[in-house]
């Protein structure tokens, strides 16, 4: 802490104490609105005089006092996440010599709550804030707030009992943690951003499907259907638009119905368990693996997936109808006829996206169908574009074969997840890499014309685009080969099994030998209190040492008087592996984790069954959690109201949080600040022994 900053804060407090009784540049008002019968948004609005500003809840370093909100434990309601704040203004403050975030003119903080009481109640507590202008700051002020909340008639005694015993409502006097669950009605947030990313990435498979043998010849045939015998271009274009929209509806509607059912019956803790089961249980993962193998075999020419001809003919006969029904049934015919080519792609898109959220498959299918339908609509609007299309030929089968190789490679990911969560040991990192190296090498040879499969035409010469693709694929193969000996392969972080599963790792051997010499903390910084539970099948990356049991890790932290780095992770978590490979591996981060923290890594998807003495009863759903993953998935959801990984929390020796938890963030500097800020907070709470 800089002496200049300490003196500055002291002078501000002394100065403002003399004048704060006549200066009131900030006026607070409080209001609420219902999201539905049981969910209510609480709004804390500050009207700020010109030239003054109120500070964020999150201030790093020694500087102005952050805005804080106090909520005492109550059986009447449950907080959903923490207090949400808007983006605000971030700039360097020369007085405090740090970057600060503040709000000018006005700001509204929002807290969302779930009402548990069947009767109306009053929610009363306080907030604390500090305001400044360019010349002075006023001392931090407590402001009481009050909300009159209507009761929720459908609340049950079980709801109240579950929540009353949970840690979710427990807050400290200075709860400066930012929201992890954003209030409804706001358009900002990582959730929506990830949905649109799913939509964008799904566009590419949709466009690629156009160039398959089942679909490409249909483009001129279907476009001519709308233009033939129609002297009214306006009518033809209207029907073409209906046709394109029908394709989107036919692909998207079934997924939308499934999502609706899932959202209706899969709320709360049940939803968490459903997603955890889909993502990590051996049955769906093996099923998905077999589906990908089946589709890959079809694309590689082993067989064709054909729908019953009666169904196709029936839909085709209805396509002659006029109005809106005609284009709709034409779209149905297209979907049915092209199923043998689009089915594997659609299956891959839905299966891969379904592991993210309820809405991910819906947005994925929407993106796929939009990209798939767009060319048909465009060519109907502008028929002259048909003249620029390449002729049908053997190149379309080559597209199918390349897709077959990709499906084969991607399918291994599902087998890998099941293998890791159940510790079968059949698909370790080097085995997985060997499969990928062979698969992509064969794809490269195929593109070069050195490998010929069923339905392939003779390749008289090698086109330049195909040669470029072969170069890219074989370069990727060359990139993967060092991974067989322990190279990190950061570009594939998350897709490959972790390095800890590799039997022969030259990099790990060298790292272990130089670890003590390279750390200023010496060998003692690497020692643990006792042998970690589950260390026979769970490992940490980069030679790190830590625990895989919460109680054991916390006990060691008390013994060594060190803060806990709590890491909620999963075997099937792609972003967890990315963080470990790209962020944890940085020398600055690695040094901090090795020397300053007791690492406690909790796998929320591990299927290893616990001894009956360690089973825990969930505070959320009342079910007994019998596995490692079940126990710590429930801990994360019940205590931190979060069920996504990775999720990092810093704890003191009592198990209380230090600062704001952190989710996925690939910025190494931000992660370093997160760790160092936690250390400073720990040192303030717990003086060194």
Render pLDDT for 96-106 as a digit per residue (tens, 0 to 9).
Answer: 667 888 998 88
**Could you tell me where the DSSP H helices lie in 448-492?**
464-480
Torsion angle, alpha carbons of 279, 284, 287, 292, to 10: -20
Would you give the distance in Å from CA 414 to the centre of its chain?
Answer: 17
Q: Which of 219, 203, 226, 456 is nearest to 337 (CA)?
A: 219
> In order of start, what are the domains of the chain with their CATH numbers?
3-164 (2.60.40.1250), 190-427 (no CATH), 428-517 (no CATH), 519-685 (3.40.30.10)
**CA dist., res. 438 & res. 623, Å (int):** 45
Tens of pLDDT, residues 582-638: 899 899 999 999 999 999 999 988 888 898 888 888 877 778 888 998 899 888 888
Q: Bin 64: left if φ > 0, else alpha if -120 < ψ < 50, else beta.
A: beta
Name which of 42-56, 256-270, 330-344, 577-591 the model is least confident about.
Answer: 256-270
**CA dist., res. 566 & res. 556, Å (int):** 13
Counting Cβ atoms within 10 Å, is residue 26 exposed (0-12), middle (13-18) or buried (19+)?
buried
**CA dist., res. 357 & res. 354, Å (int):** 6
Confidence of residue 509 (pLDDT cuts 50, 70, 90): low
Q: What is the mean pLDDT of residues 249-257?
A: 83
By residue count, the chain amounts to 689
Peptide bond into 280 cis (omega under 30): no
Beta partners for residue 110, in sequence order = 43, 84
Report whether pLDDT(355) > 60: no
Pairing of strands 68-70, 121-129: antiparallel
Report whether pLDDT(682) > 70: yes
Three-state helix/strand/coil letters over 339-363: HHHHHHHHHHHHHHHCCCCCCHHHH
Confidence of residue 176 (pLDDT cuts 50, 70, 90): very low
Whose tokens are 């390749």? That residue is 459
Q: Bin 542: left if φ > 0, else alpha if -120 < ψ < 50, else beta.
A: left
Q: What is the mean pLDDT of residues 56-82?
A: 84
Give the best-scoring range by mean pLDDT among 5-9, 307-311, 344-348, 549-553: 549-553
Confidence of residue 323 (pLDDT cuts 50, 70, 90): low
User: CA 222 → CA 67, 91, 131, distances in Å?
Assistant: 62, 58, 66
Determine how many CB atoms are found less than 10 A away from the CB of residue 493.
21
Residue 528 phi/psi, 5° resolution?
-110, 170
**Sequence-separated (6 or more) residues with CB below 8 Å from residue 261:** none
Q: What is the mean pLDDT of residues 32-44?
A: 85
Pairing of strands 546-547, 598-603: parallel
**Res 561: pLDDT:** 92
Q: Which of 383, 405, 509 is nearest to 451 (CA)?
A: 405
Average pLDDT, the chain: 77
Determine how many CB atoms are found less than 10 A away from the CB of residue 282.
17
Contact 173, 70 (CB under 8 A): yes
**Res 510: pLDDT:** 56
Q: Which two tokens stand for residue 159?
A: 């709801």
**Res 311: pLDDT:** 55
**CA dist., res. 107 & res. 48, Å (int):** 8
**CA dist., res. 369 & res. 349, Å (int):** 11
Name which of 112-126, 524-538, 575-589 the model is least confident about.
Answer: 524-538
Crossing angle, helix 190-209 and helix 360-381, to 10 degrees?
Answer: 50
**Res 333: pLDDT:** 75
Q: Please give the angle made by the CA atoms of 212, 215 and 218, to the nearest 5 degrees.
A: 140
**Res 188: pLDDT:** 34
Q: In b/e form, how buried is each residue of 344-376, taking b as 16+ CB within 10 angstroms?
A: bbbbbbbbbbbbbbbbbbbbbbbbbbbbbbbbb
Q: Which two tokens stand for residue 517?
A: 């010499």
**Res 314: pLDDT:** 60
**Sequence-separated (6 or more) residues with CB below 8 Å from residue 468:** none
Would you give the distance in Å from CA 511 to the centre of its chain?
Answer: 31
Please indicate, yes or no, whether the overall pTM of this predicted structure exceeds 0.85: no
Give the best-scoring range by mean pLDDT among 84-88, 110-114, 457-461: 110-114
User: CA 471 → CA 125, 183, 433, 447, 459, distances in Å?
Assistant: 65, 49, 19, 9, 18
**Res 556: pLDDT:** 94
Three-state helix/strand/coil letters over 15-62: HHHHHCCCCCCEEEEEEEEECCCCEEEEEEEEEECCCCEEECCCCCCC
């Amino acid at each position: 802490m800089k002496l200049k900053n300490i003196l500055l804060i002291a002078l501000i407090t002394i100065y403002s104490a003399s004048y704060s009784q006549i200066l009131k540049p900030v006026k607070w008002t409080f209001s609420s609105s219902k999201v539905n019968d049981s969910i209510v948004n609480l709004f804390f609005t500050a009207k700020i005089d010109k030239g003054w500003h109120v500070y964020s809840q999150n201030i790093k370093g020694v500087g102005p006092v952050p805005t804080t909100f106090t909520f005492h434990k109550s059986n009447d309601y449950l907080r959903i996440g923490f207090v949400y704040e808007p983006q605000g203004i971030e700039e360097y403050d020369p007085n405090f010599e740090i970057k600060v975030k503040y709000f000018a003119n006005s700001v509204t903080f929002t807290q969302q709550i779930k009402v548990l009481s069947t009767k109306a109640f009053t929610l009363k507590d306080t907030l604390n804030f500090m305001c400044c202008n360019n010349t002075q700051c006023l001392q931090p002020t407590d402001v009481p707030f009050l909300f009159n909340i209507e009761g929720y008639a459908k609340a049950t005694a079980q709801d109240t009992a579950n929540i009353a015993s949970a840690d979710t409502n427990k807050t400290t006097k200075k709860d400066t943690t930012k929201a992890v669950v954003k209030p409804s009605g706001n358009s900002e947030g990582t959730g929506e951003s990830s949905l649109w990313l799913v939509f964008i990435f799904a566009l590419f498979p949709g466009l690629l499907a156009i160039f398959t043998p089942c679909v490409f010849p249909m483009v001129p045939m279907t476009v001519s259907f709308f233009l033939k015998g129609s002297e009214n271009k306006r009518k033809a274009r209207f029907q073409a638009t209906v046709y394109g929209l029908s394709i989107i509806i036919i692909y998207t509607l079934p997924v939308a119905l499934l999502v609706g059912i899932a959202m209706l019956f899969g709320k709360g803790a049940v939803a968490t368990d459903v997603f955890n089961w889909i993502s990590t249980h051996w049955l769906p993962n093996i099923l998905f693996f077999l589906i990908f193998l089946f589709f890959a075999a079809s694309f590689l020419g082993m067989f064709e997936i054909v729908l019953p001809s009666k169904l196709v003919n029936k839909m085709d006969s209805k396509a002659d109808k006029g109005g809106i029904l005609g284009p709709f049934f034409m779209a149905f015919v297209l979907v049915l006829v092209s199923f043998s080519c689009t089915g594997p792609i659609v299956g891959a898109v839905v299966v891969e996206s379904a592991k993210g959220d309820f809405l991910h498959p819906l947005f994925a299918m929407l993106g796929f169908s939009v990209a798939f339908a767009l060319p048909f609509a465009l060519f109907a609007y502008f028929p002259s574009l048909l003249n620029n299309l390449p002729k049908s030929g053997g190149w379309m089968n080559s597209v199918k074969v390349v897709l077959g190789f990709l499906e084969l490679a991607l399918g291994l990911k599902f087998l890998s997840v099941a293998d890791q969560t159940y510790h079968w040991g059949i698909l370790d990192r080097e085995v997985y890499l060997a499969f990928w190296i062979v698969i992509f090498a064969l794809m490269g040879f195929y593109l070069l014309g050195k490998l010929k499969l069923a339905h392939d035409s003779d390749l008289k010469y090698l086109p330049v685009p195909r040669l470029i693709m072969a170069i890219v694929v074989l370069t990727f193969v060359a990139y993967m080969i060092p991974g067989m000996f322990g190279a990190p392969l950061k570009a594939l972080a998350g897709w490959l099994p972790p390095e800890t599963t590799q039997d022969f790792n030259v990099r790990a051997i060298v790292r272990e030998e130089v670890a003590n010499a390279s750390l200023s903390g010496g060998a003692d910084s690497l020692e643990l209190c006792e042998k970690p539970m589950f260390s026979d099948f769970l490992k940490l990356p980069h030679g790190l040492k830590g625990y895989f049991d919460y109680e054991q890790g916390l006990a060691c932290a008390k013994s060594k008087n060190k803060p806990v780095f709590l890491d909620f992770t999963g075997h099937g978590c792609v972003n967890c592996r990315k963080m470990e490979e790209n962020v944890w591996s940085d020398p600055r981060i690695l040094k901090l984790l090795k020397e300053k923290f007791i690492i406690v890594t909790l796998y929320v998807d591990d299927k290893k069954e616990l001894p009956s003495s360690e089973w825990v009863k969930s505070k959320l759903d009342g079910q007994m959690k019998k596995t490692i993953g079940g126990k710590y998935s429930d801990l994360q959801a019940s205590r931190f109201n979060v069920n996504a990984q990775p999720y990092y929390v810093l704890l003191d020796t009592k198990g209380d949080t230090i600062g704001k938890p952190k989710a996925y963030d690939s910025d190494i500097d931000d992660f370093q600040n997160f760790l160092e800020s936690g250390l400073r907070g720990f040192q303030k709470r717990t003086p060194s022994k």
